[in-house]
Every structure is written in C-alpha cells, then in structure tokens.
Structure 1
Amino acid sequence: MLQHAVTCRTQWSKIKQKKGINDIQKGAVYSRAYKVPRLLTSVIRLDGGSPDPEQNNSLAAALRRAKDAGVPKDNIENALKKAAGGKDKGDTHLTFEVMGPGSVGIIVECLSDNPNRTIKFLNSILKDNGGRMADVKYLFKREGRVKVALDAGDDIETRLEKLVEAALDADAEDFETEDQEDGSRNVEFKCPQPSLHKLTSVLSAPGVARELLSSELVYAPVEPLEELDDETGEGLDKLVQAIEDADDTLKVWTTADA
C-alpha cells in the first residue's frame, strides 16, 4: 500500500524557496516565451506522444502551464507548430552530468541547434560556479511523475482514496499531497518510466480528478541529500540558477532535491 510521502525540510529546500528556484519547477520557466518551443518539443519528442493535445495528455498539461504563466496565445501556437514540425532547428537533445558544490550530482537536459555552443557555454558556467563534468547518472533513477488536482469539499478524503486506488491499478508506486489555500488538493504520483503514459491516461480520465497539472519523466535522486550547510547550499543555488538561465536548458535535476 502506498504511504503518504513527506517532503524533507532540508536546508537546500529552504534556500530554493528563498531564491525562487521552486518557481521554475512549478512552471515559471514557461513565462520565458523564447523557451516555449523547446519545452513543447521536449514533451512531444523526448517524452513521446502525439503533437495533438487532444491525443496527448502530457502536452495538454504543458500547454495549460504555458497559458497560466501568461505566455501569449500566438507564441504558444507558433511554438506548437515548430515543436510538431520535426525538421526545425533546435531539436538536438543533450544530457549532461555534472558534479556541483558539496559533491551534489546534477543532470542537465538541453535542446540545442548548436551542440558545440551549448557545451562551451555550460563549461563556462561550471568553471565560474564551482562545478565540473563528472559521471553522476548512477546517483539518479528515471521515473514518471503525474500531478493532478482535486476540488475542495467535505468528501475530498473519499475522493483521494478512490484516486489512489485508480493510480495503484495504473502502476503508481508512491504519492505526495499538497493542500491549497482554497481547500483543494494537489496530488503527485510517482511511477516506473514505462508506465507514465498509462498512469497519465487513467488520472486524466473524466471524473477522476479536476484536472491534470503535469506529466513528465524526471531524474530522481536514488538517495536525496538531507542537509547542506548554508555556504554549500548557496553555491549550489547559484550554479543551478545559472544553468537554468541558459537559453538551451530544458530541465535541471539534482541529488539535493527531496
């Protein structure tokens, strides 16, 4: 039976909240309109699926995140056309392994129309921020994450129980809940990589939840670091922020993420 996973309140978590890094993971990166084509390309090509949001629940969720972040409709439509085109520039997928301050492992995913430029720029960032290329992928596992929202109501616990049962039948392995100010509740499920599409389809079916918030493949730390001192945490934050700000960066994962 699934157990409600409690997020560790680590020094790194506090630093990320203070600096605003969590905003990127929650979708603020979509507000950078120039990154939208690469983000949608990632959903369509890297995670797999149709370029039609009516047929691709993960893409539909990504489009909602872009709209909620205030990205103009024209930008989204143009980005979707480019992402679905298949022959446009900017479709080279790159994955880098990095060792950061405090021996924190980092995975960086990029899409680039010029890999040599991307590598050169990343190396410059690492040199300036105490990082280096290193074999760290063994510190991570590839898994699916699906987040949905439940409406507020006196029966929310009953609906949550039914939601969990449906998720279990679709290969979910664990989950976390997050209460919202309006009384609603967000629920994020974890699943094996091959089960992402199955779990997403089940949880986005009519009547199961209010809406699908996100569906993606992540690099999750095998053993998340539970504590970093202030100096190391601030150095890691600075490095991650610099990598996130690079034009070609899609996602950054660290072993300090609880």
Structure 2
Amino acid sequence: MFLRIPRRHISISSPKWAGHNKWSKIKDKKGANDASKSVAFQRATQDILVAARSGGVDPDKNTTLAAVLKRLKAQDVPKDNIAKALAKAAKVKGSGEILTYEAIACNSVGVIIECATDNANRTVQTLREILNSRNARMASVGYMFTRGGVVVVGVENGPDVNGRLDAVTEVALSEGIDDFEPLPPENDSLSRIKFYCETSALVELTDKLSKHPGVAILESEFVYNPTEKTAVSDQDAEILEDLVHALEVHDDVIHVTTSAAIS
C-alpha cells in the first residue's frame, strides 16, 4: 500500500524532445511536492484551530495546543504559518464543532474520522458519500480503539546508536509510557522509535524527550490506537488507501485512523 517491472530500454521520443520530457517530469514532481506541502500547511493550521477551540490559545494552559505546536515545529512548519494560525484562532469565539465519526470499511476495518466543521449536516453527508463509494459505511467502531498519545523520535545514526536508543528509551520508561516500538528508518541519518502514553502524559513526555541530547521530535500528537490490528488483503489495502486519501483531503477532516494491519 502505504512486482517489479523489468526495465525496457525502448524509446519512441525523438532526441529533440528528450529535454522537454525530462523537464515535464521535473515540473510534475515539483507540482506534486508543492501540493503536498500546501496540504500539510493547511492541515497544520486546522490542527491549531481545533486545539485552540478546545482550550484557548495559551499553550501553557492548553496541553492539546502545546503538543500540536511541538509537533509542527519539529516538522519544520514555517513560524509565519504557525503565528497566522494562532492569530486566527484567537479571533475564533467557539464557532464550529469538533466531531468524531466512526465507520466500517471492507466489512471489518474500523475507521475513526476526526473533523472540525461549522455545518455538521454538510460534513456527515459528504463523509457518507465518500464512504459509500468505497465499500464503507457509518458504524459504531469506537470499541476497536483507545485514546492515547504518541511521540515519535529520531536518533542520529553513528557510533553507539543502539546505546543512545537505549538511553532515550530509559528516559521514556521513567515517564511511565505504556509501550514503545522501533520504526523502519525513513533515511540513512535517523533511527526512529515510537512511544505510546496516556493523553495526560503527552506534553511532559514530549518535553523530556526533546531535551535529551541527539533526539529530534518527529511526531507528538493525540491519537486513536487500534486495540487489535485487522488483517486485510492486497485488494482491500488498495481500497483503504484510496478511502483514507479521499477523507484526508476533505476540508473538514483533521485526522483519519484505521484498524488495518498494513505493512
């Protein structure tokens, strides 16, 4: 999801168009990257608005907002974007609603859809259309998940990286985490590990880990954790990938979580 075709050295393009084709591919890739950044920045703004609505714009008094800001800064979201979102949040006086919808996909996969909306009827109608068109429907699946916090850290690779991973894990264990797991590396420079904690412990855990030498906070957020992962076929994995994408690009959707076990 989320056959390797043998390379065929065949070209039907004339030499004078080779540069044009290469430039087209570069433009397409750049356009996709720019669109991805735009969606990420838009999502960051919405995350701040949602957190601020639940407890104000002072991160010292709003643990949800504090965790969101730490995560966005770790993800290199520009300071101007964060400042504008906070200014916008300060002007919001309780308008809109924070809603969570539950659904079942591919007959057995639980889906949690977190939304912020000023029109619940519009939102639920659109969500139903997205779900119904992809072999899914609204259903009570909350029992398949628990609410908690997650912190993902990166540790620079190099001499004694395992020892440094053990050290940061000891710090997390001293903060009373529920569980942890190593994650596949995203690049050659960082090894990653994910820590699970209670919602009340997220901000303090993030703060302690961020102060540990050589540690980068890659994620820090409140999440829905599946109590058990649901095995899915390759075909259903593709359907789920399409479903999650369709939901995530919707303006009202903040976050989507599924119970699917997909490698």
RMSD: 2.8
1:236 aligns with 2:240: yes
* 3-state SS of 1:87 partner: coil
**Aligned residue among 72, 90, 114 for 1:109:** 114
**Correspondence for 2:209:** 203
8 Å CA contact retained: 2:103, 2:136: yes
Greater length-normalized contact order (CA 8 Å, ≥ 6 residues apart): 1
Quote the offset at 1:251 in angstroms: 0.5
1:61 aligns with 2:71: yes
**Correspondence for 2:58:** 50
1:247 aligns with 2:254: no
Letter in 2 for 1:130: N
Gaps of 5+ in 2: 3-34
Identity, in percent, stands at 36
**Aligned residue among 36, 41, 45 for 2:49:** 41
**Aligned residue among 175, 178, 193 for 1:173:** 178
8 Å CA contact retained: 1:196, 1:216: yes
Quote the offset at 1:163 in angstroms: 0.7
Deviations 1:146-178 (A, max 9, x none): 112212221222211111111001011222223
Q: How do residues 1-258 of structure 1 correspond to structure 2 at under 5 angstroms?
A: 15-16=1-2, 31-32=38-39, 33-45=41-53, 50-51=58-59, 56=66, 58-65=68-75, 67=77, 74-87=80-93, 89=95, 91-177=96-182, 178-205=184-211, 207-225=212-230, 227-257=231-261
TM-score, normalised on structure 2?
Answer: 0.75
Letter in 2 for 1:181: N
Quote the offset at 1:217 in angstroms: 1.1
**CA shift in 2, pair 1:237/1:204, >3 Å:** same
Letter in 1 for 2:44: V
User: After TM superposition, which residue ranges in structure 1, 4 or more long, deviate above 4 angstroms?
Assistant: 43-49
8 Å CA contact retained: 1:51, 1:84: no
Letter in 1 for 2:247: I
Letter in 2 for 1:31: S
Letter in 1 for 2:58: S
* 3-state SS of 2:260 partner: coil
Moved more, 196-205 or 177-186: 177-186
In structure 2, what is the Cα distance between the partners aligned to 1:111 and 1:223?
Answer: 27
8 Å CA contact retained: 2:57, 2:89: no
**CA shift in 2, pair 1:169/1:101, >3 Å:** same
Quote the offset at 1:194 in angstroms: 2.3
Deviations 1:92-137 (A, max 9, x none): 2010010111321100001112222111111111222221111100
Q: Aligned pairs, how many?
A: 225
* 3-state SS of 1:153 partner: coil
8 Å CA contact retained: 1:99, 1:133: yes
In structure 1, what is the Cα distance between the partners aligned to 2:260 and 2:108?
Answer: 10
* 3-state SS of 1:56 partner: helix
* 3-state SS of 2:116 partner: strand
Letter in 1 for 2:38: S
TM-score, normalised on structure 1?
Answer: 0.76
8 Å CA contact retained: 1:175, 1:189: yes
* 3-state SS of 1:171 partner: coil
Gaps of 5+ in 1: 1-14, 17-27
Letter in 2 for 1:39: D
Quote the offset at 1:192 in angstroms: 2.1
8 Å CA contact retained: 1:37, 1:82: no
